[in-house]
Structure 1
Amino acid sequence: MMLHQKALGQGPLCDLPPRTKMLLTSAFFALAIAGTASAQTLGNRYGLLSATRPEIGFANYNTEQKLLVANQVKEMFKVFVHQYEKEDVYGVNALEKVDKIIKDAPGLSNRDFQYRMVALFQSLRDLHTNYYVAGPHNCYNFVQPLQFAFVESEDYLKKPKIAVKSYTVDKNVLARVPGIQDKVKIGDLLTKIDGKTWPEYFDTVKADTGGANQYGGYQRALQQISSKRGRSYKVPAKNAQVFTFQSSNSTSTFDITVPWVTVASKDCLADAPTGGAADPKNNALGKTEQKYHGKPKKPRTDDASVDDWGTEFFSSDLPAVAYAPTASSIVSYTIYRNNGANLGVIRLSAFTDSAPSDGETTALNEVKRLLTDVLADTDSIVIDLRTNGGGSLGFADVMPQFWVNAPNGFDTGYGRAINHPNNGALFNGPANEEDWAAAYNATPKGNKYTNTIKFNEASTMNTIGQLYLRPVALLTDAKCYSACDTFSASMQDHGFTVFGEDATTGAGGANVIEHQANLQAWAPSIYKPLPYQELDSNGKARLGVSNFRVAWRQTIRTGPNKGKLIEDAGIKSTYQLRPTVQDFVADDAKGVSSQFDRIAKYFKTNSNEQKKAGLLFQASLNATTVTVGKTFTIPFTSQKINTIELRDANNKVVTKTNPTPVDQKHKGTLEVVNGVATLGRSLFTIQGFNGNQRVLITRREFTVIPNTSAYLKVAAGQKYTLGSKDESAYTHVYNNPTNNAADAWQYKNGKLVLGNGIKYKSNVESALKIFVNLPASSKLSATFDVDSEKDYDYFFVTATDASGNTVELYRTSGTVAATATWPIPFSGNVYLSIEFTSDGGVVGRGATVKDIIIGS
């Protein structure tokens, strides 16, 4: 079973060819604002809130439209998976509160209607459940030039210390608050806001922060004194804030009044609905039954609303230590060497890369590269997850295997949904959530929740195993949310230490669906388009319109925390570890971090961590091709491992070695005598032991191909139609080892059918390979019929020469029926692949191929 994951959800990303991995990445990093935003082209308009406040208006809804919006919120809340927890923990009944708005809607002004909705959603304290305001208000950001951070203090909750962390990177904001850098210095302590101490101030704003617990609330409230989004939050009540500071180098204090600066998208302002005769696009008024005609989107699996982290206005750099970039925009690293430390640090700023289409694949490959090469000789590693707002659940679930020492890898978490007919319509409808439909349909009547199932099967998330054997820990904070929560939970549930700047992570445990992109497309009889939501002929949504999303399926932990929720609770830190003021001071260019100093010391002094010290195993991760029946070897480097054994797919030990000297790096080989007897993709497991204690479990896959003597020889001028005779010597179906063969290509008598030919399955990776010896200028032709989810599930054809060079001859997705001929750019020994890949959610029959002809 795999979650419908094309927004933040992936199939198995490990060791797939690049063309496959591209299909398994997130397409919805910006889904949080799907239908209400697009790329800005006109730039921003800046001003002071005191001057622009009168312009910050709302869409002019009539009574019918207010009731439509409110009732659609109610229908969405019926699948709000945290509704019972939020009532128990915070006393907020979402359905009762929206019923009150429905009752009051005819008498509410547009401002009051929108703000009542904002207040309702914020009161749920769930960053996966968001309301987007309609009208020009949606287009504004409210920013001031200082960013703050909590630093070490004796009592964080009652007497926290707050330091100035950085200035805004937006020069237009700085220009509207002249002299701020002369008056306030990095490291100065913020002691009061509008005359209130931090606990006093937080009491006045905690209902509006959205933080799922007090730690998350503290972090979000602190960020919201630097920046707020008009998309989801009310305009600041005052035009300026009065900050009281204590100088970092004295005990003196001073007050400074800092105005709010408005930053508005000109594109959004030009497009946002105002309503009535003043709206240039008034044609949408009253059109409440128009059909959603955009492409049905897949749900975000696990990500936070990033509305408040101020990423455009403040540097995302963390204090004290500079990180080196990688090929991935979300992965960076350093080797921390202060005071004799040899600490590797992997910085993950998110679990989804919004830049390239294969961003998550790139990120995963970079993590693997760091572990097996750049950081391989470090004494220990800390994974820095601070300010990581989440992203792909598939990406977060695939990584723990790189560190977890367990026979079957790490155990993935479970999910459940609300047991309500609206979910029945979603799971059994166009969403194509077969496993969730089965869980829903099997749930006894009267249960609050559906039966639980795995978000991601352990077999698809444990295809490689350990890549780094030495001590590993996490560094988190309460901005670590959603997929970051999930990853942290997986690591903690398998015994890894969690250092936290806060006592818990941000406590977001769900995946998300959005009203316009998901609900309207999947259950149109229940979920109706909202005012001004119609798309243009290019499928582009209007800016500044209302939309909303909801936490849909709930995450449940496993291992020692089996049955516990992440939502509201978060992942408790093993040790709390805040930065000091000195970590932020700009003139400290030594690259020294008090936090990393303490983590490095912990690794060196903790007896349990020292049991892993010095362990090493390295072997190539590159997919290796071997010839059927022939001996091959696996070169490796090891250290402090007494015994290493290799097991085949049947768990039979095929070879064993005892590296010596064990305390030094040892280069050796594992030999597979007589190789593998059958064609296909063969998975081997490598285990390492010190006495009876296993210290290593990792896996390597080999593609087994025929002897060249078995290749089909195509003479010049001849053509061969596959299916005319026994072809088993030179053709074979190669499947991902985690796939069920019945779900992959079925090849009989020259006809290739995917699965049952009626509906294909999630996370299929299957290729018919044809091994041939070709003259120059040969061609491949076939007749094919493809019915797949466009832009997610692909049919493609490749050719690979004897040196391993691969060229893609064809690729398609969606609905295609054709006969095509493709020139083959190689001659001599070549193998041709007819492939199909699907992600975690499917639409259609799959593919059928016939009349496969090879000739010159």
Structure 2
Amino acid sequence: MTEGAGKQLAGAMELQDFVRMAGTLTLADRRTLVQQALVLIEQNYVHLPLKAAMHAVNPVQRLRLLAVRLSRQSATTMDPEARFHQELSEIFHSVRDLHTNYILPAPYNTKIAYLPYLIEEYYDGDARRYAVTRTVQGYAAPAGFGPGVEVTHWNGVPIDRAVDLNAAKFAGSNPAARHSRGLESLTIRPLRIHVPPDEDWVVLTYLDPDGIERELRERWQVTDNQPSFVDADQVSTAAVAQGLDLGTDEIGRALQLLYVPQTITSEERIDTGELSAEKAQPGADLPTPMPSIFRARSIVTPSGTFGHIRVFTFSVNDPDGFVREFVRLIGLLPQNGLVVDVRANGGGHIFASEFLLQTLTPRPITPEPTQFIATALNVRICKQHQENPTGQIDLGPWCPSMNQALETGAVFSGGYSITPTGGANALGQQYFGPVVLITDARCYSATDIFAAGFQDHRIGPVLGTDDNTGAGGANVWTHALLKQLLELPSPSPDSPYKPLPGKANMRVSIRRTLRVGDLAGTPVEDLGVVPTHRHRMTRTDVLESNADLLARAGELLATGTVRRLDVAVAADELTLTTALLDRADVYLDGRPRASADLAQEVVTVPVPGAGAARVIRVEGFQGGELVAARTVVR
């Protein structure tokens, strides 16, 4: 355990002691929070019509009623603060949108509550079961308790029922997402977006290795979580292009702190100069300066040896550096098949997720279009940033349709991509073997966008451990960011955004995303991405590093095709080294220049001016279908 992580856990306090310390909001503070929540939900929230229809909820009316009740209270008659937080949180959770959150004030906003073990589910045939899979480093577990024990009850409630009851409290967009969040929140609660647990301690009933039923009572602990690399409140490209489930992101950093503190880094590093360029050895992880973001290794399965790269988050400030490290890592992995594993990735920078797609396919990438809801306030925001005055945000493409929508009564603006199309296609294909994507119900936001793009561009099969992804199809902005956007480059008069008390904050889905390709125009929100293949996690998976899951992925990769397209550039010709291609078309700086039949593995193609071109793109075909492409940027 790192020294910093050890100090954090050593300084943890019991939940009941923390709760006694919390609570400093005045009645005026509470009224401000409710009024500002009304602004965001009623005038900025892009999914309000969808959520009202799908879930039969009316958060606007609930906020109005809460405001009325607060207007009738005084400093001596107001409710306990915990009750206020509970009600405001419930209103935000009612829309089942993990982008749209009430972020509790200090001291909650930096804390996590946790129990010293992790519970995961698996299937034994058709029966769903639960096991302890990890314990916190340094935890003095009683004899017979540890990874592998089967959990049967939670505070006397059968564990499956306890997960369902817990799931009802949280904002998953679909049944799979709610169940997944019900399970993970049994043992970890980010207090930024969840009120503290109701109970001070939990009694866990389990079967020890001898099958004897035992009970373990543990108190909830509270400590500081690891901070995020990205400041979503400041005007920056990373903040404006956020697509992040804050809860999953918080839990991901908490899992690092509690179970793998050796992967914690204090900053987002992309310098790879001192790292070895040796190919991955079977079973060994490749070194990376971004261990909080990537884990890359060579895996041995019954179907062969393949590459496996886990992408833990897209929450970065530098999407280009993120993609460069991804490309470096997959270049050191076996080239006959790649597993891209994005389970439990809550998203992050939308650029990073959509920039990654190009590296896995020869097809040009079409970023997902996004839409604002057409309200007078959103029109003001777009108008103020239609000429990109800050250098960080350009809302000009949405302005004409927003103004038109107010006249025609259209609900949404036109759809335009957040991700630059040029950046989404700047590097082109970098991996030429088959690719399988692994998803689960905790894939959300920018990861939903990545999974949808992977499927829409027909990159490869999607292997899901749940029935669909988390279904978070939106760009999310914080209240603090919205407030600044009406203050830059000069303050807009009569801004409805007021400072929030106590370091509280709020987030709202501001632009909804739509699918491309065969499902063009379909919203991602609530629907998510349905996998092409389904795998139920086994006991071996949760206790032995996903062995059965990766074996299934290996089976899918073994049916794929490994191609090759290497390009050597000379002054007036290209030398192409290929495999399983029968034709190549050449473009210089976007213009077609040559086409050649590939009767041999190595072919020299005359291309006048090739040496002077800035960008060379070679497209490889088999049977008339585009199956490989190489982009050379000089």
Same fold (TM over 0.5): yes
The Cα shift of 1:483 comes to 0.6
Work out whether 1:54 is the aligned partner of 2:23: no
List aligned pairs for 1:666-705, cutoff 5 A.
Answer: 666=602, 669-675=604-610, 682-702=614-634
Q: Give CA deviations for 1:225-251 in whole Å, capped at 9, x if unaligned.
A: 11112222112111111212234x554
Is the 8 Å Cα contact of residues 114 and 187 (structure 2) preserved in structure 1? yes
Q: Given the alignment, which residue of 33, 50, 66 partners 1:85?
A: 50
Residue 428 (structure 1) shift: 0.8
Residue 567 of structure 1 corresponds to: 525
Provide the residue aligned with 1:729 in structure 2.
Answer: none
Give the drift of 1:418.
0.9
2:44 partner SS: coil
Identify, as 1 or 2, the structure richer in strand.
1
Q: Give ranges in structure 2 of 5+ residues lacking alignment.
A: 228-232, 262-281, 386-392
Query: Could you tell me whether the CA contact under 8 Å between 1:530 and 1:546 is conserved in 2?
Result: no
Distance 1:235 1:691, change over 3 A: closer
| AA at the equivalent of 1:567 | E
Where 2:105 maps in the other structure, the secondary structure is coil
Is 1:311 the equivalent of 2:255?
A: yes
| 1:256 is aligned to 2:191 | no
Counterpart-to-counterpart distance in 1, 2:626 and 2:235:
47
Deviations 1:475-497 (A, max 9, x none): 11111111111000011112221
Is 2:372 aligned against 1:404? no
1:203 Cα deviation after fit: 4.0
Partner of 1:489: 452
Give the equivalent residue in structure 1 for 2:506: 548
Q: Tell me how far apart the structure 1 counterparts of residues 234 and 437 of structure 2 sit (CA, whole Å).
A: 39
CA contact (8 A) 1:125 1:211 kept: yes
- Alignment partner for residue 586 of structure 2, among 642, 646, 649? 646
**2:499 equivalent in structure 1:** 530
TM-score normalized with structure 1 length: 0.63
* Residue 369 in structure 1 maps to residue 298 in structure 2: no
Cα contact 2:610–2:616 (8 A) shared by 1: no
2:382 pairs with 427, 430, 453, which one? Answer: 427
State the Cα distance separating 1:657 from its structure 2 match. Answer: 5.6
Task: Please tell me whether Structure 1 or Structure 2 has the larger radius of gyration of its CA atoms.
Answer: 1
Matches within 5 A, 1:3-14: none
2:184 alignment partner, one of 223, 245, 267: 223
Map of 1:384 onto structure 2: 341
Q: 1:101 to 1:308 in 2, by over 3 A?
A: farther
Secondary structure of the corresponding residue to residue 437 of structure 1? helix
Structure 2 counterpart of 1:168, which letter?
V
SS of residue matched to 1:225 = coil
Residue 656 (structure 1) shift: 2.8
Give the CA deviation at 1:616. 1.4
Instruction: Work out whether residues 440 and 450 of structure 1, in 8 Å CA contact, stay in contact via their aligned partners in 2.
Output: yes
* Matches of 1:147 and 1:255, distance apart in 2: 16
The CA distance in 1 between the partners of 2:134 and 2:351, in whole Å, is 34
SS at match of 1:263: strand
The two structures, once aligned, show a CA RMSD in angstroms of: 3.0
Alignment equivalent of 1:464, drawn from 402, 427, 430: 427
The CA deviation at 1:651 is 3.9
- Determine the C-alpha separation between the residues in 2 that align with 1:165 and 1:209: 23
Cα distance in 1 for residues equivalent to 2:599 and 2:578: 8
1:324 to 272, 286, 289: 286
Uncovered stretches (5+) of structure 1, i.e. residues with no partner = 1-38, 268-293, 533-543, 703-856
1:452 to 408, 412, 415: 415
Aligned ranges 1:689-838 → 2 under 5 Å = 689-702=621-634
Q: Is the 8 A contact 1:122 1:210 kept in 2?
A: yes
Correspondence 1:148 to 2:96:
no
Checking the alignment, whether the CA contact within 8 Å between 1:244 and 1:256 is kept in structure 2 is: yes
Bigger mean CA deviation after superposition, 44-53 or 415-424: 44-53
In 1, the alpha carbon distance for the partners of 2:240 and 2:621 equals: 43
Residues 92-103 of structure 1: pairs in structure 2 closer than 5 A: 92-103=57-68
Partner of 1:363, secondary structure, is: helix
Matched with 2:276 is none
Give me the whole-angstrom Cα distance separating, in 1, the residues matched to 2:108 and 2:507: 19
Structure showing the higher helix proportion among its residues: 2
Among the aligned pairs, what percent are the same residue? 21
* Distance in 2 (alpha carbons) for counterparts of 1:302 and 1:316: 25
With over 3 angstroms needed to count, the CA separation of the structure-2 counterparts of 1:148 and 1:567, relative to structure 1, is same
Post-superposition CA distance 1:621-668 (Å, at most 9, x none): xxx8x8xxxx244454322223333233464343636252x4xxx5x5
User: Could you tell me how far apart the structure 2 residues matched to 1:361 and 1:649 are?
Assistant: 21
How far 1:424 moved relative to its partner?
Answer: 0.8
Aligned to 1:418, what secondary structure does the other structure show?
coil
Question: What is residue 146 of structure 2 aligned with on the other side?
Answer: 185
Q: In structure 2, what residue type is equivalent to 1:401? A: Q
Give, in whole Å, the separation in 1 of the partners of 2:378 and 2:551: 49
TM-score normalised over the length of structure 2: 0.83
The corresponding residue for 1:769 is none
Q: 1:682 to 1:641 in 2, by over 3 A?
A: same
Aligned residues between the structures? 578
C-alpha distance 428-576 of structure 1, shift in aligned 2 (>3 A): same
Deviation at 1:145, TM superposition (A): 0.6
Q: Specify the code of the residue in structure 2 equivalent to 1:149.
A: E
Q: Which amino acid aligns with 1:698?
A: R
> Is 1:111 aligned to 2:82, yes or no?
yes
The 1-side partners of 2:587 and 2:484 are apart by: 50
- Please give the per-residue CA displacement for 1:119-145, whole angstroms capped at 9, x wherever unaligned: 111222211111122243445421111
Q: How far did 1:326 drift?
A: 2.4
Letter in 1 for 2:294: V
Q: CA deviation at 1:398?
A: 1.5
Does 1:124 find its partner at 2:115?
no
Could you report, residue by residue, the CA deviation over 1:441-493 in whole angstroms, capped at 9, with x for unpaired residues?
A: 23243222222223335444223332223221101111111111100001111
Letter in 2 for 1:211: G
Aligned partners of 1:262, 1:701: CA distance in 2, in Å? 51
Residue 557 (1) aligns with residue 511 (2): no
For 2:465 and 2:518, the matched residues in 1 are separated by 23
Describe the shift of the 1:211–1:323 C-alpha distance in structure 2 as closer, same or farther (beyond 3 A).
farther
Which of 194, 218, 238 matches 2:155? 194
Deviations 1:82-110 (A, max 9, x none): 11121122222221111111111133423
Taking the aligned partners of 2:18 and 2:588, their CA distance within structure 1 comes to: 69
Distance change (3 Å), C-alpha of 1:68 and 1:52: closer
- Alpha-carbon shift at residue 686 of structure 1 (Å): 0.7
How far off its partner does 1:571 sit?
Answer: 0.8
Letter of the structure 2 residue corresponding to residue 647 of structure 1: Y
**8 A contact 1:325–1:331 mirrored in 2:** no
| CA–CA separation in structure 1 for the residues paired with 2:23 and 2:359 | 50
CA contact (8 A) 2:585 2:592 kept: no
Query: What is the deviation of 1:328?
Result: 3.3
Equivalent residues of 1:467, 1:618 under 8 A apart: no
Q: Deviations over 1:320-341 (max 9, x none)?
A: 9664232433233112123351
- Amino acid paired to 2:14: L
Cα contact 1:331–1:363 (8 A) shared by 2:
no
The letter of the residue matching 1:529 is K
Q: 1:646 to 1:501 in 2, by over 3 A?
A: same
Match for residue 413 of structure 1? Answer: 368
Distance 1:416 1:252, change over 3 A: same
The answer to whether the Cα contact below 8 Å between 1:336 and 1:345 also exists between their aligned partners in 2 is yes
SS of aligned partner of 1:314: helix
Question: Take 1:261 and 1:251, find their aligned partners in 2: how far apart are those partners?
Answer: 29
**One-letter code aligned to 1:362:** G
Q: Distance in 2 between matches of 1:564 and 1:388?
A: 22
Q: In structure 1, what residue type is equivalent to 2:619? A: Q
Kept in 2: contact 1:396–1:484 (CA 8 A): yes
- CA shift at 1:149, angstroms? 1.6
Task: Tell me what 2:272 maps to.
Answer: none
